[in-house]
Amino acid sequence: MRVISKKPSQQQIEEMLNNSHETLYLEGIKNLSRKEISRYHSKILHRDFKDDNFIILKDRNGSFAGMAVFHNLEWDTKYLRQNIARIELITTNKKATNREGIYRMLLGEIFSTCRANKVRLVFLRNSINNRILNKFLTSIGTYPLSVLLNLYRSFDGMEDKKGFKKKTYIEIRRPERKEHSRLEEIMLDGFKNRLLYEPLLNVTDVRNLYRQWIRNDLKGRVKEVLIALRGEQITGFVAFDQLNIDGKKYGFVDMIVVDRRFRKKGVGTILVNEVAERLRKITKGIFLGTELDNAEALNFYMCLGFCITDSYYSYHIKLDNKI
């Protein structure tokens, strides 16, 4: 095997993804082909990452054997006060006969670079269906911290489906500047995330990261943030945007949080309704994410007609592990 640390062209990345074995993120969304998903990811990978973020393995014939893309998480490192990296993609050729060996080489190269940069923790999201990589990670003493789920709801026939009918007894509008701090309070009190269970991270630091997350959304990182009010009381909020996947537009919910005091009173449903109403004429549907152990959120989304499309193990790899 030959290791190459150079960014391929977008066309080369797309070709490698088309010929890879692993399930790609969002591949489970209805009406999206493997080629469309590969083209979407190749554009992002080529646009957002540099030469030293790529590791390409080629066999003795010069053919693609495996690829990994990783980078340091500057934002997470700043707020969590730990040097953290993330593996955005790790994949092998679907014709490869020694996939475990390819994973070992790719991860070995990544970990060597990360250790040189004093990275302590590496995040990796891997499909539950990728048993070979999951087994290999377990063999080096790494276990998933949580199971991440993608859910999708098509807008086909939306008006006739339960949970998407328009309701008006709670006011929906954009937040005013003076209300931003209240959204932070709701976020910190009600949001659940796997980082809270990582023993290497300080809970206060994780909460500061969450606080910055909603601040960035309010500053325009996503297309829209809406709040739900009952009288003058903010009962919850939703942040959402759109993705263009090879010419097909989809809505996605970045976060939705309801004040604990107003849960199971229809606030979350009203917020989802509003997002659906605003997006249904210009997108094909909505997708969002949650965690398997967040039963309350999962049941809520499924009652509104969302279906699970993909499931992933979320690994936090500590670099005292040996390969």
Q: Mean pLDDT over residues 53-74, rounded? A: 94
Q: Enter the tokens of residue 162.
A: 């339960």
User: Quick one: pLDDT band at residue 161, thresholds 50, 70, 90?
Assistant: very low
DSSP codes joined into one string, 111-124? HHHHHHTT--EEEE
Cα separation, 231 vs 174, in Å, equals 15
pLDDT band at 32; cut points 50, 70, 90: confident
Give the residue, 159 or 86, on which the prediction is more confident: 86
Q: In whole numbers, what is the pLDDT of the chain averaged over residues?
A: 91
Q: What is the mean pLDDT of residues 111-134?
A: 94
Question: How does residue 170 score in pLDDT terms, banded at 50, 70 and 90?
Answer: confident
| Other beta carbons less than 10 A from residue 232's beta carbon | 6
In the predicted structure, residue 323 carries a pLDDT above the cut 80: no
pLDDT score of 92 more than 70: yes
Distance CA 209, CA 80 (A): 7
Domains along the chain with CATH numbers: 2-148 (3.40.630.30), 152-312 (3.40.630.30)
Is the predicted pLDDT of residue 150 greater than 90, yes or no?
Answer: yes
Helices (DSSP H) in the chain: which residue ranges? Answer: 10-18, 34-48, 74-80, 99-116, 131-139, 180-190, 203-216, 267-279, 295-303
Q: In this model, does residue 296 exceed pLDDT 80?
A: yes
Mean pLDDT is lowest, of 39-48, 182-191, 232-241, for 182-191
Cβ(20)–Cβ(67) under 8 Å? yes
DSSP secondary-structure letter at 191?
Answer: -
Percent of the chain past pLDDT 90, that is, above it, reads 79
Q: Report which of 250, 228, 229 is spatially closest to residue 240, judged by C-alpha positions.
A: 250
Res 160 pLDDT > 50: no
Is the distance from CB of 83 to CB of 120 less than 8 angstroms? Answer: yes
pLDDT classification of 117: cutoffs 50, 70, 90: very high
Report the pLDDT averaged over residues 67-90: 95
Give the CA angle between residues 163, 169, 170 to the nearest 5°.
85
41 vs 245: CA distance, rounded Å: 9
At residue 321, the pLDDT reads 56
Report CA-CA distances (Å) from 165 to 122, 268, 277, 287.
43, 13, 9, 18
- Checking if the pLDDT of 322 tops 80, the result is no
- The b-or-e profile of 186-220 (16+ CB within 10 A means b, else e) is bbeeeeeebbeebeebeeeebbbbbbebbeebbee
